[in-house]
Structure 1
Amino acid sequence: MVFWVPILSYAAVILLTAVAVLRAPAPRPPHLAANALLRYLNLFPVGLMGLWGALGHIVFPARSAAAIGWATSPFQTEVGAANLGIGLAGVVAAFYPNWGFRAGVAVVTAGFLGGAAITHVVEIAETGNLAAGNAGPILYTDVLTPLLLLILLALTYRSARGPAA
C-alpha cells in the first residue's frame, strides 16, 4: 500500500487535470491547466495522502513504522496529527480556490514534506534503509509535491489577482 498510494494519487492528478482541461470550453485560458493541477495536487497528494498518513500513523502505528523501516514510536501520534491537519487543509484548498489559502497550505506542506524528505535521505545515507516507506515513491512525492505546489502558485499568482494585476 505504501508503494501504490503515492503513484495512484499522482495518476489521479494527471487524469483529472486532463479531463478538466479537455472539458473546458474554448478558448481555454493559459492558467487553466495550472489551476487544475493545483486543485488536484491539493486534493490527492496533499489532502487524501495526508489523511491516509494520519490514519496509518494514528490507527496502525506498527504497520506504518514497519513500512518506513523504523521502530514504532509515540511520536507517530504527533506525525499523524500533523498529517491530519495538512490533509484536511489540502481538501479544503482543493474546493476553496483562494490563492492566499492555497499558498498557506503549500508553505506548511513544503515544511512538513520537505523535512520528511530530508529525514528519509539522511536515513538512507546513514543506515542504508531502503524500505518502501523510506526510499520508495513516498520519498519522491515528499520532494515533488511541495515543489509543484510552489511552482504552480507562482504560475497562478497573476491570474488569481485578476486582470489589473
Structure 2
Amino acid sequence: MVFWFPLLAWALALVLGVLMSLRGPRPFSPSVLVDQLLRYILLFPVGLMGLWAFMGHVFFPAQAAASIGWAPSPFQFEVGMANLGIGVAGLIGAFLGSPGFRAAVGVVALGFLGGAGIGHAIQIAETGNLASGNAGPIFYTDFLTPLAVLGLLLVQRLFRRPAAA
C-alpha cells in the first residue's frame, strides 16, 4: 500500500482536476484548470495522504517503520501528528482556503515533506535503503506535492494579475 497510495492520490488529483475543469464554464480557460488542479492536489496528495500517513505512524507504527526500512521509534507519534496537521490543512485549503492559506499549507508541506524527502535521499545514499516507503513513489511525491501547490499558486497569481496598460 505504501507503494500505491501516493500514485493513486496523484492520479485522482490529476483526473478529477481535468474532469472538473472540462465541466466548468465555456469557453475553457487555463485558469480554471489551474484552480481545479490546485483544489484536488490539496485534497488528495496533501489532505488524504497526510491523514493516511498520520494513521500509519500513530496507529500502525511497526508496519509504517518497516515500510520505510526503519525500526519503530517514539518519534513516529510526532511525525504522525505533523502529518495530521498537514492533512487537515490540505482538506481545508481544498475547499475553504484563501490563496494565502493555501500558500501557508504549501510552505509547511515543503518544509516537512521536502525535509522528509531529503532524509530519504540521505538514507538511500548512506545505507542503500530502497524500501518502498523510503525510495518508492513517496520519495518523489515528498518533493512534487509541495512544489506543485506552490507552483500552481504562482501560476494562479499570474493569471489574476491585471494586464499592464
Q: TM-score of the superposition, structure 2-length normalised?
A: 0.95
2:112 alignment counterpart: 112
2:72 alignment counterpart: 72
CA distance change for structure 1 residues 146 and 18 in 2, over 3 Å: closer, same or farther? Answer: same
The 2-side partners of 1:98 and 1:150 are apart by 13
Q: TM-score of the superposition, structure 1-length normalised?
A: 0.95
1:53 alignment counterpart: 53
Secondary structure of the residue aligned to 1:134 is: helix
2:63 alignment counterpart: 63
How big is the shift at 1:160?
5.5
| Contact preservation (8 Å) 2:42, 2:90 | yes
The 2-side partners of 1:109 and 1:138 are apart by 14
1:99 alignment counterpart: 99
Q: Gaps (5+ residues) in structure 2?
A: none
Poorly superposed stretches of 4+, deviation over 6 Å: none
Secondary structure of the residue aligned to 1:130 is: coil
Alignment of 1:30-49 (within 5 A): 30-49=30-49
Q: Percent identity?
A: 60
How big is the shift at 1:97?
3.9
Residue 15, structure 1, aligned to residue 15, structure 2: yes
